[in-house]
Structure 1
């Protein structure tokens, strides 16, 4: 424990050097990187950014529905996030009669705000380092299994005690690959309502064509509101609830922007993997990513033409298509960026340096001397299981939808007596009735059949046949014909009829359904042939990675170290600036409404515009939202971001909202693995464009009146 104490203290006292914009920093450690932020132009005090004793910027930042970020912008609980983060809510409230995806939605008062009872937002109340408590009772003589069990027991006890003491949720997460642990105390609010959203022609302007690229002209925002009970506490949806009163909300900066301005992104980045070994990164670049790209490309080639042919299908598949396409295009950009940067060569150079440093001291040689060699060997021996897992996820959870829908009936069909004996049968039937309605609201059988017929042979060809269900490689086509001809689970009315007056006989019949049989076969095969080997591989890899990262922290104490993103609250900082990622090319740091019009193509699914937008442009009705006569739309900055930062506020030097982060440039997507300060840029929609759309286009000036505009 003394050695651990010395190591962690050295790590937490580390003062980072000024390095472009790399890193996603833990707010609770703001004193450690505050001086560097000041060199970029920050004017705030540390306690104004993060504090547990008084209100601070952190109290205006929430994790939005578990995946994105949002920010409070009024004392009445008004939230801003991305259009693509709110897309699911917009889609679920849309219909042919009320096509909010196409026409947008603007509540004219609070009574018109639309309830989203399935959504929640999460506030972080405190982040506290608990490494010693988590590792208490572990010894060097323990096996890894014994140590893991002790750590798990400690974490469970600490989380329970903290939740009971403070009345909030408590979650402990590892940082620096398990070398440090933090406890996050959080509070969820569950009454979230949709207040406003631009039409997709604004909120998704550029569509898949422009996704992940610059220059960008996308008004990627939506507006929600948090509601609470009469005591401002969390409560389920009720008409009696009132708008939430935040401890802090962000003022809106109407100030002119210029290149070099300080920028800070405060949010919940999802995942980065900066510590991948050369062997691991090579596997991703040469095998895993190309296969997943091809599988998604195949599905998109079926979905997109169908969406363009029918408004009904467009509404049904809008959210699903966006989700599939987002990762697909990101991965293409990642591979291109990593190749351009010669990432594998850089990894090899770093690993040579690491191994050389490990020879300096005997204790370093003993602890870190072979860890990279061990990682490479482990990867080579087990990557067929990692590949099989990735392919199964793509096929089962992203591919033909009937597979995961049908598998949802597995318990009812094959554990009928257990459910009945446990008194859970009626609840399971009720759940499946709701699932049936929700599924078929956004399902087209013809599209799903084409996806099955084109994606399955790809899946079979990529997979190691020994890891597939017996005979699946030979029989998938015949199995598919039987499913689409005979399965009752592919038809809403037939499913509803099955669930009415359900009994043991119906369960036996349901178990014979060909769609359920295939889904159950694929899933059980994965659990038997892939999951155990992958799980063992992952456990060994985590152990080695903990040692490897500890070696980097120990042997290179003057190097800038930041913990990989893990969906916890983080700060990134940089400057508003353009880039020159390719020879002969220089990107300006902002775009204007003129660029929107230059890209305009009537009836093009990515570049059409609403008539009202055109009228406002022709009239030059830009209100007070211009800068030197121009209406900025988007800007770029050198903040290190990743998935989960969508919707994060871009905050200026004085703590005011200047934009909403929504993307990275295509040249930046490799920053999940390797950051390059010359080319990595996050993309934000300018807050003045957001206000213009709300005010002039949406005619919802009552929302502007709620905000605090700083001119």
Structure 2
């Protein structure tokens, strides 16, 4: 069990708190002891490295889960209660919502465990261990090994290592490469698939500010939802069953209601998705000019057409709420990233770095022989990718971004089986599609999809080079004289895939000819076949050359800077970042405070704008200032705060943890000025936007009245830092009498199982802390 530090902190110095610089990096927890622990202690960490990550003993890592494969969550009770973001739980909340029980609008709170709602498609992965397997994967592979042989051997060994670690399917395990293929690590997880919805505030709290405030600071969003993980009675992972019992985590996070101050230590634990910080200027050009510009164009059109239909009917709004939010998120992100790259002159910076690299390489004959042509190879590979890259972007964003074509594409396994004339296999393939079809039509509105189809297929026809388009698609466009509304009429009038009834009937009696003659399937099948035969091979060849060159480039960078401690790019594996609570200045003459309050919500309130509606009860609580123990020392209710932690997508829902190992907030966003974060870290602007733990508890307790949930948490208050600082002016020295009195007070507060009071002096400061340990 992690140590508990008593709320007595006697400062006898008037010096300001230690002001730490932002720490760039998303670090592997298993390497914290060797790489980061000393620096973290200097910034305010009070835990040992083993209390952060341990395989054999309870540690912080046991409280952190990968939520659904796309977010992060954390245990906040011994009963498997799990905290994540509202937007991470959004699709689950939406799946239980109807016009009669609109949990998106009204919120949901289970006042007893039997009222919690199951989510069949949701799972959480809990890390068992991670291991460095670089030596096993690269054994016998050298610089003279051909790329083909290297790729084959590393892939086979990664699979073999993961398969052995799975212990015959008991664990989910995989090996990931790091530093562009220079290192390899094994990750072993337990997967729990009985995850039930416990609580969620109304969207007017959980999504307050909507798209307008997305990626922005100041924020005032209660972005959280609560789930509970269940296990079989014998303690093993199990599918949903009423006989399952709440999971007992090895560790859960105490929830702090203490205040936070500028420069206080903060760490974020989670599963960041993807960063590309070793990317060269050549790759950055593709990111800006092809991926982001195309994503902005295509998603802007789709969002506008969806919104038209959502505004017409509440049922359509509920159906498309989750899809709309997901699509809008990285639409806006792409805009911010392009603007940030231009503002920060990121391209120019990378070009300058590459010039320094080339100078270093050419200064030594051996280095020149090994790395001299690496940047040219990267440039040539990216030039080849650029010729075909739009085919990939538009396949994902336009073709499979159209719902009927996505469903048609999901018929491909059945189509392949039907071609074999194997009736039994076809029946099984059709059965496997039933849940997919049910889920698809639960949230489908054909008139909206028809408009999107016409718009996005028009873009595909106009923007993809004609020689990269399939003949069948071009013939269909020609047949309707380039009128995509008429093409949409034809497809939606004749495809059985726009009707749930007709699609289910087809699955009951699947026939090859019927599927081959379906116009939606014809379009997507022709585009996919053309992509695989005319685009993918060229991209695969170019990407293989790029991968080889990037691996050498990163290896050379680490050789060039031997004293620099590098961190690997994020790749959806568990990472820890650390920094401090920090405000920032986004532009000349403007300074942002590090926290916002409920008063800011009331300032933004607008009953005519769905993004800024404030629930009546929240307004009442504000008017009466009924904040209870969750107010800060000024009587304010803090809603959000910011830190300079290094995060990215996938960190949504990550816990923000103080130096004592307590939850002080939950991360939910980054800021607009640092949208370049996946490509380059900006120490001046990079901020992690978090919901304050006190607002979490306030909404659960005062707003929802879900005291059953409050009662199962471990809530801690380590005192008021301001009170200590204010008192310090009157205390020139810590006298022995005062210290002895404080120790006696601490002993009096000992709880069962706590047996030691320790006096800890901080080096270089006239202060003492009293710690209670088990």
Pick from 390, 408, 411: which aligns with 2:410? Answer: 408
1:558-569 aligned at under 5 Å gives the runs 558-569=563-574
TM-score calculated relative to the size of structure 2: 0.87
Is contact 1:291–1:462 with CA below 8 Å preserved after alignment?
A: no
Structure 2 equivalent of residue 43 of structure 1:
46
Question: Residues 623-669 of structure 1: CA distance to partner in whole angstroms, max 9, x if unpaired?
Answer: 21110200000011000000000000000010000000000001122
Question: Residues 540-585 of structure 1: CA distance to partner in whole angstroms, max 9, x if unpaired?
Answer: 1111100000000011112341100000010100100111122222
Task: Decide whether aligned partners of structure 1 residues 78 and 414 sit closer, same or farther in structure 2, where only a CA change above 3 A counts.
Answer: closer
Give the match's secondary structure for 2:587: coil
Is contact 1:73–1:252 with CA below 8 Å preserved after alignment?
A: yes
Give the match's secondary structure for 1:670: coil
1:440-519 aligned at under 5 Å gives the runs 440-470=441-471, 472-473=473-474, 474-475=477-478, 477=484, 478-500=486-508, 502=509, 506-519=511-524
1:230-269 aligned at under 5 Å gives the runs 230-269=233-272
* 590-599 or 18-27: bigger deviation: 18-27
Question: Residues 318-358 of structure 1: CA distance to partner in whole angstroms, max 9, x if unpaired?
Answer: 01001100000011111111111000110011001111111
1:20-35 aligned at under 5 Å gives the runs 20-31=22-33, 32-35=35-38
Is contact 1:267–1:644 with CA below 8 Å preserved after alignment?
A: yes
1:590 Cα offset (Å): 0.6
* 596-605 or 609-618: bigger deviation: 609-618
1:570-609 aligned at under 5 Å gives the runs 570-609=575-614
d(CA) in 2 for partners of 1:165, 1:444: 43
- Tell me, yes or no, if structure 1 residue 154 matches structure 2 residue 157: yes
Task: Decide whether aligned partners of structure 1 residues 52 and 433 sit closer, same or farther in structure 2, where only a CA change above 3 A counts.
Answer: closer
Pick from 612, 626, 629: which aligns with 2:617? Answer: 612
d(CA) in 1 for partners of 2:220, 2:205: 9
Structure 1 equivalent of residue 208 of structure 2:
205
Task: Decide whether aligned partners of structure 1 residues 182 and 497 sit closer, same or farther in structure 2, where only a CA change above 3 A counts.
Answer: closer
Structure 2 equivalent of residue 88 of structure 1:
91
Q: In the comparison of the two structures, how many residue pairs are matched? A: 689
Is contact 1:20–1:638 with CA below 8 Å preserved after alignment?
A: yes
* 506-515 or 197-206: bigger deviation: 506-515
Instruction: Provide the aligned C-alpha RMSD in A.
Output: 1.6
- Tell me, yes or no, if structure 1 residue 55 matches structure 2 residue 58: yes
* 221-230 or 359-368: bigger deviation: 359-368
Structure 2 equivalent of residue 99 of structure 1:
102
Task: Decide whether aligned partners of structure 1 residues 35 and 92 sit closer, same or farther in structure 2, where only a CA change above 3 A counts.
Answer: same
- Tell me, yes or no, if structure 1 residue 322 matches structure 2 residue 325: yes
Structure 2 equivalent of residue 688 of structure 1:
694
Structure 1 equivalent of residue 743 of structure 2:
none
Is contact 2:399–2:457 with CA below 8 Å preserved after alignment?
A: no
Give the match's secondary structure for 1:678: coil
Structure 2 equivalent of residue 624 of structure 1:
629
Question: Residues 520-543 of structure 1: CA distance to partner in whole angstroms, max 9, x if unpaired?
Answer: 112212111211211221111111
d(CA) in 2 for partners of 1:414, 1:573: 49
Pick from 173, 177, 190: which aligns with 1:174? Answer: 177
Structure 1 equivalent of residue 425 of structure 2:
424
Give the match's secondary structure for 1:170: strand
* 5+ residue gaps, structure 1: 1-17
d(CA) in 1 for partners of 2:462, 2:212: 29
Is contact 2:700–2:707 with CA below 8 Å preserved after alignment?
A: yes
1:217 Cα offset (Å): 0.6
1:210 Cα offset (Å): 0.5
* 5+ residue gaps, structure 2: 1-19, 718-774
- Tell me, yes or no, if structure 1 residue 359 matches structure 2 residue 362: yes
d(CA) in 2 for partners of 1:583, 1:391: 40
Is contact 1:308–1:605 with CA below 8 Å preserved after alignment?
A: no
1:19 Cα offset (Å): 5.9
Task: Decide whether aligned partners of structure 1 residues 247 and 281 sit closer, same or farther in structure 2, where only a CA change above 3 A counts.
Answer: same
Is contact 1:384–1:464 with CA below 8 Å preserved after alignment?
A: no
Structure 2 equivalent of residue 114 of structure 1:
117
1:303 Cα offset (Å): 1.2
Structure 1 equivalent of residue 439 of structure 2:
438
Is contact 2:66–2:270 with CA below 8 Å preserved after alignment?
A: yes
TM-score calculated relative to the size of structure 1: 0.94
1:230 Cα offset (Å): 1.7
d(CA) in 1 for partners of 2:177, 2:125: 19
1:196 Cα offset (Å): 0.3
Structure 2 equivalent of residue 219 of structure 1:
222
Is contact 2:419–2:512 with CA below 8 Å preserved after alignment?
A: no
Task: Decide whether aligned partners of structure 1 residues 413 and 53 sit closer, same or farther in structure 2, where only a CA change above 3 A counts.
Answer: closer
Give the match's secondary structure for 1:326: helix
Question: Residues 602-639 of structure 1: CA distance to partner in whole angstroms, max 9, x if unpaired?
Answer: 03121112222222222222121110200000011000
Give the match's secondary structure for 1:178: coil
- Tell me, yes or no, if structure 1 residue 635 matches structure 2 residue 649: no
Question: Residues 388-423 of structure 1: CA distance to partner in whole angstroms, max 9, x if unpaired?
Answer: 21121111222x2100112223444564253635x3
1:300-315 aligned at under 5 Å gives the runs 300-315=303-318
Is contact 1:414–1:507 with CA below 8 Å preserved after alignment?
A: no
1:327-338 aligned at under 5 Å gives the runs 327-338=330-341
Give the match's secondary structure for 2:74: strand
Is contact 1:410–1:511 with CA below 8 Å preserved after alignment?
A: no
Structure 2 equivalent of residue 349 of structure 1:
352
Give the match's secondary structure for 1:654: coil
d(CA) in 1 for partners of 2:135, 2:337: 37
1:464 Cα offset (Å): 1.8
* 454-463 or 638-647: bigger deviation: 454-463
- Tell me, yes or no, if structure 1 residue 297 matches structure 2 residue 300: yes
- Tell me, yes or no, if structure 1 residue 541 matches structure 2 residue 554: no
